[in-house]
Amino acid sequence: MEPAGTEPESRPPAQEPPGSTALPSEEPEWGEAAPEPQQEAEGVPPPAPVALGRRPNGPGSKGQAKRGGAGKGARGKRGSTRRAGEEGGRPARRPHVTVDSSKAKTSLEALKISLRQLRWKEFPFGRRLPCDIYWHGVSFHDNDTFSGQVNKFPGMTEMVRKITLSRAVRTMQNLFPEEYNFYPHSWILPEEFPLFVAEVRMMKDNDPPWKPTFIVKPDGGCQGDGIYLIKDPSDIRLAGNLQSRPAVVQEYISKPLLIDKLKFDIRLYVLLKSLEPLEIYIAKDGLSRFCTEPYQEPTLKNLHQVFMHLTNYSLNIHSGNFIHSENVNTGSKRTFSSILYRLSSKGIDIKKLWSDIISLVIKTVIALTPELKVYYQSDIPAGKPGPTCFQILGFDILLMKNLKPVLLEVNANPSMRIEHEQELSPGVFENVPSPVDEEIKVAVIRDTLRLMDPHKKKKKDNQSQLSEYASDPKEDLLEPEPTNKLEHDIRKNPEASLPSLCLKQVFPKYAKQFSHLRLVDRMAALFIRFLGVKGTMKLGPTGFRTFIRNCKLSNSNFSMASADILYIDITRRWNSMGIDQRESGMCLQAFVEAFFCLAQRRYKSLPLHEQVASLIDFCDYHLAILDEKRLVCSRGITERRAALVTCQPDGLHLTSATPAPLLNRMTTASKFTDYRNHRS
C-alpha cells in the first residue's frame, strides 16, 4: 500500500500503534483499487464494493464527479467500486435505507461514495415520500423535515460559534476549573474588554517576566478569517466596529508541539448520535493540518505571519510551501494516526494522549448539550411529529509541547470535501481528488450512516451496536471464506464487505467518569420544565416564579419579591449583551446564573459545584413530591369519574382522565434518599 521509499518512521499504523488500545487496532488491509462503478438505475441501488480501503489515487469516475457536483476538473477515479456478485440477478435483501441527499452540498461526493458502499438508495433530488435519512449540508433547517432522521441538530450552529462555545465552557470552568482547563482563557468582546484589560494588567503585575500573546477571533468567523495576534490589550482593533463584529480574545498557546519544525492542529470527527440519552462516538482517525512556515514563538516581528501561526488549510493552501501529498503521512495534510505513530516511535505515551483527547471531547459535548436540549424542545416539541437528529462535529485540537490537548474550536459543519484545488499552471486551477481527505471522511460518513441505520434501530436488541459491527471482519480475512459464500453473504448483508467501524463509542461507555459533570444538564431539565409554552426558549417571569414556588425556594430570607428582582436583574443584563433578541425572557445561561446565586445563598460554605448539586437535589425532591401529589390527585379524579360513569343511568361516555405525565420518573422516596445522601 505504501509507495516505495517511505520513511519507516512516518509509516501510518496499519495495525494498532504500540501501546494504544484506543486507536484502530484491527483495521485490516482491504483490497486495492476497484473497477468502474455501475450505472445507477432508478430504484435499484448501485452495487456495494467488495474491496474498500485506501486507494492511492482516490476512487471515483468522471461521471460521478460531475453528478456529485465536484469541481469541474475533478479527475475521475472517484467512486470506483468492485462489483459484488450482481451477475446472479437481484440479491435477496432487506428493504433499502433511503437517503435524501438533495441538500448535501459539499459533502455530496463523500456521501455518494458512502451510500454506494452501503447499497443504500440515494434520492439526489429529494423525494415526495419521506426518506429514512435526510443529509443536510448546513443546518437542521435546510429542509422541512417531519420524520426520519436528520444529520443536524437544531441550534448546533449557534452553539459552536466562538462566543457561545466560550460561554458554555466558561460555565463549566466556574463549576469544575480543573476539569475544564483544556480551553484557553478567553474574554468576550466587546462586553468583557474592560475585564480583559484589568485581568491582564493584574497578571502582569503579579508576574513581571510574563510576556503573553493573545489571539483575537471574530465570532462566527471561520477559515482564519479576521484573526490576528496581539501582545497587549491596547492593540485590539477597537477602532471601527467592535460592536458590530463581536469576537473572542484568547490566550495564545505559544509553545505548541512541532513536527518537522511546523505547527499543526488536529481535526477529529465526533458523532453526536443522540442527545437523550447522550451518545458520543469518536472517529479513530482524523486529519492533521500543518503550517507552511517553520514556527517561532510570537514576537512583534512575526505576529503577522499567518503561515507560521495559523494552521488553517484554507490559508496555508495559498502558501508556495504547501505540499499536496498522495501519501497520508507526508505533506501539509496528513492523517492523525500517522502523527501518533510517529510520536509513539519517539517513545511518547500516545495511549495517555488519546485518552486525554477523549476526555476533552466528552467534556466539551457535556458543556454543549444543555442548551442544545433547549433548542431541540423548541424546534421539535415533545409530542409533535418531527425527525430525530444526529450530527458529525469537527473538533479542532492543538497539542501543546507538553502534549496536553487544547480545544481550539468545534465546527458544526466540518468540511467533508474530498478534493482540493490545485494550481496546474499559473492561474489555472483544477479540483483533484485528495486521498487523505477521502480516506478519513468517507469512512466517517459511511460509519455514521451504519450507526444510524433505521432498520438496525428497529431490531431493538439492546446489544451494543458497536459489538455488532465489530463482529469481526479481521477473522474473515484471516480465514477467507470460499468466494461464493462470501458473495452470498454480501448480497444478504452488504456490511459483510465493510471494514469494522471507524467510530468508537466513548459515551455512555465512559459515562461513570463524567456523569458528575452534568450539572448544567440537570439545570436545563428544570428550565425546560418551567418554560411552559411549547416552542419557546426563554423563561418568562411567571415561569420563574412558578419554579421558585414549586421548588420551595422562597422563605423568610428570600421572598417572592426578591425572586422577581433576581429575575429582572439577570435577564436584563443577558438581554443587553445582544444575545438572541427574538424572544424576551430569561435564556438558559441567565437561568444558570440565577441558579448559581440561589445555590450560593443557600449553601454558603460549599464549593460552587456542591452548592449547585445540592440545590438541584433540593428542587428535584420537591418537584417529585409535587408530581406524586398530582398523580394521586388525578387518580382520585379518575376514580371519581369512573364511579360517576358507572352511576350514569344513561351510560354517558366519559373519557377517563390520563394521569399527569411524570416528567421525572424517579419516585419521591428514591429522590428523598438521594437528597439525604447528598446532604449527609
List contacts with ligand ADP (CB under 6 A): 184, 215, 217, 221-225, 227, 250, 252-253, 265, 310-312, 396, 398, 408-409
Say if residue 558 is exposed, middle or buried (CB neighbours under 10 Å; 0-12, 13-18, 19+). Answer: middle
In angstroms, give the least distance from the CB of 291 to ligand ADP.
7
CB of 256 to ligand ADP, least distance (A): 7
**Helix, strand or coil, per DSSP, at residue 331:** coil
The smaller minimum CB distance to ligand ADP, of residues 184 and 433, is found at 184
Which of residues 223 and 471 has its CB atom nearest to ligand ADP in the complex? Answer: 223
3-state secondary structure 286-301: CEEEECCCCCCCCCCC
- Return the bridge partners of 149, or none: 133, 388
Residue number, 292 or 668, with CB nearest to ligand ADP: 292
First and final C-alpha spacing in the chain: 62
Report the candidate in 545, 528, 530, 524 with the shortest Cα–Cα distance to residue 592: 524
- C-alpha dihedral, 455 to 459 to 465 to 471, nearest 10°: -90
Helix, strand, coil shares, percent, the chain, to 5: 40, 15, 45
CB of 295 to ligand ADP, least distance (A): 10
Strands 247-251, 228-230: pairing kind: unpaired
Cβ of residue 403: shortest distance to ligand ADP, in angstroms? 15
**Smallest distance from the beta carbon of 204 to ligand ADP, in angstroms?**
19
Helix (H, G, I), strand (E, B) or coil at 392: strand
Nearer of residues 145 and 413 to ligand ADP, judged by Cβ: 413
Report residue 353 CA to chain centroid gap: 20
Nearest approach, Cβ of residue 431 and ligand ADP (Å):
22
- For the bound state, the minimum distance from the C-beta of residue 303 to ligand ADP, rounded and expressed in Å, comes to 12
Q: How far apart are CA 12 and CA 486, in angstroms?
A: 29
Nearer to ligand ADP, 59 or 298 (CB): 298
Minimum CB separation of residue 223 from ligand ADP in Å reads 5
In Å, how far are 271, 352, 354, 401 from 255, measured between CA atoms? Answer: 30, 20, 20, 6
Which residues pair with residue 395 across a beta bridge? 268, 410
- Residue whose CB is less far from ligand ADP, 303 or 408: 408
Q: Is the dihedral of CA 305, 397, 589, 250 positive or negative?
A: negative
Nearest approach, Cβ of 226 to ligand ADP (angstroms)?
8
- The nearest distance, CB 289 to ligand ADP, in angstroms, is 7
Complex with ligand ADP: residue 229 or 524, whichever CB lies closer: 229
Q: The dihedral of CA 90, 94, 95, 101: what is its sign?
A: negative
**Are 567 and 549 within 8 A, CB to CB?**
no
In whole angstroms, the minimum distance from the beta carbon of 573 to ligand ADP comes to: 27
**CB atoms near residue 52 (< 10 Å):** 23
Report CA dihedral (217, 222, 224, 227) to the nearest 10 degrees: -20
Nearer to ligand ADP, 225 or 475 (CB): 225
Which lies closer to ligand ADP via its Cβ, residue 253 or residue 372? 253
Joined together, the cell numbers standing for residue 87 give 451477475
- The residue (of 221 and 331) whose beta carbon lies closer to ligand ADP is 221
User: Which cell numbers hold the place of 567?
Assistant: 429575575
Instruction: Pick between residue 1 and residue 222 the one whose CB is nearest to ligand ADP.
Output: 222
Helices (H), ranges, 42-138: 62-67, 108-118
